[in-house]
Amino acid sequence: MIAIIGAGRMGEALLAGLLGRGHAPDEVLVTEPRAGHAEELRRRHGVEVVDAAEAVTRADTVLLAIKPQDMLALLDDLAPVLAADRLVISVAAGVTTAVIEKYLPGDVAVVRAMPNAPALVGAGMTAVAGGRHAAAEHLDRAEELLRSVGEVVRVPERHLDAVTALSGSGPAYFYYVVESLVEAGVLLGLPRDTAHRLAVQTATGAAAMLREGEHPAVLREAVTSPGGTTAAALRELDRHGVRAAFTDAVEAAHDRSRQLAEG
């Protein structure tokens, strides 16, 4: 049995991803404090919504998907009711396994994971790292669970803030680019729905080409005809410092993840 504590955007994406990929609704318990949202979760997914104490008593795997800022209060509530043989998986940005271990009793196994939003459609990217008491068996269990919503990679925990900045927040960067292209198309006179369709299929096609394994620089060169339109566009992106902006953006997300660790 899996308990998901906190079914906001990420918790519900993981819930829907798990249910859509081989987990039955009666294998998952959810904890969600807002009565209205709890009712919606029951209706939408057919899962039981219970309080945290009941969830951690009945489930052997406890997935924490609450905001980092709410984590310490939740750990305080869980500590007296969490049995030592539970596996705790936290997806909270910034919060280290050492902090979680400090608040939980005994030798509870903790795995820190950083998934991303496309888990909702089974196309997630998750990185996992084990805490002090996480054995190979715990990492295997966490990896198997998260593999049902996409790809999983193991990293040393010191890399998880960088992972958060790149693939955790990453979908938002691509959505931002697509939004910008749509607005540019509208500026040039395209109907909004046509601009949207062109931008989304271009993003999807470019992603499919990347998946074939070719380096992005090689793919970009193949689109850039000598003296042509793409070269003119790329010169403007360079002139506006877009590459540097991405570097700074990812670095800012990394720094923010580190700050969140401080509470």
Ligand X SMILES: NC(=O)C1=CN([C@@H]2O[C@H](COP(=O)(O)OP(=O)(O)OC[C@H]3O[C@@H](n4cnc5c(N)ncnc54)[C@H](OP(=O)(O)O)[C@@H]3O)[C@@H](O)[C@H]2O)C=CC1
Ligand Y SMILES: O=C(O)[C@@H]1CCC=N1
**List of residues contacting ligand X (CB under 6 A):** 5-11, 31-34, 52, 65-68, 70, 74, 91-93, 114-117, 168
Give least dist CB 37 to ligand X, A: 6
Angle (CA) 19 28 156, round 5°:
85
Give least dist CB 46 to ligand Y, A: 27
Burial class of residue 75 in the structure, from the number of CB atoms within 10 Å of its CB (0-12 exposed, 13-18 middle, 19+ buried): buried
By CB under 6 A, tell whether 96 contacts ligand Y: no
Burial class of residue 105 in the structure, from the number of CB atoms within 10 Å of its CB (0-12 exposed, 13-18 middle, 19+ buried): middle
Give least dist CB 133 to ligand Y, A: 25
- Residue 77 to residue 60: CA distance in whole angstroms: 17
CA-CA distances (angstroms) from residue 223 to 77, 206, 218, 231, 234?
A: 55, 11, 9, 9, 11
Contacting range for ligand Y; rule: CB under 6 A; set: 50-58, 162-170, 209-217, 236-244: 162-170
**What one-letter code names the amino acid at 59?**
A
By CB under 6 A, tell whether 125 contacts ligand Y: no
Give least dist CB 65 to ligand X, A: 5
Smaller CB distance to ligand Y: residue 96 or 169?
169
**Per the structure block, which two tokens stand in for 37?**
């949202």
Smaller CB distance to ligand X: residue 87 or 125?
125
Positions touching ligand Y (CB under 6 A) are: 93, 164, 168-169
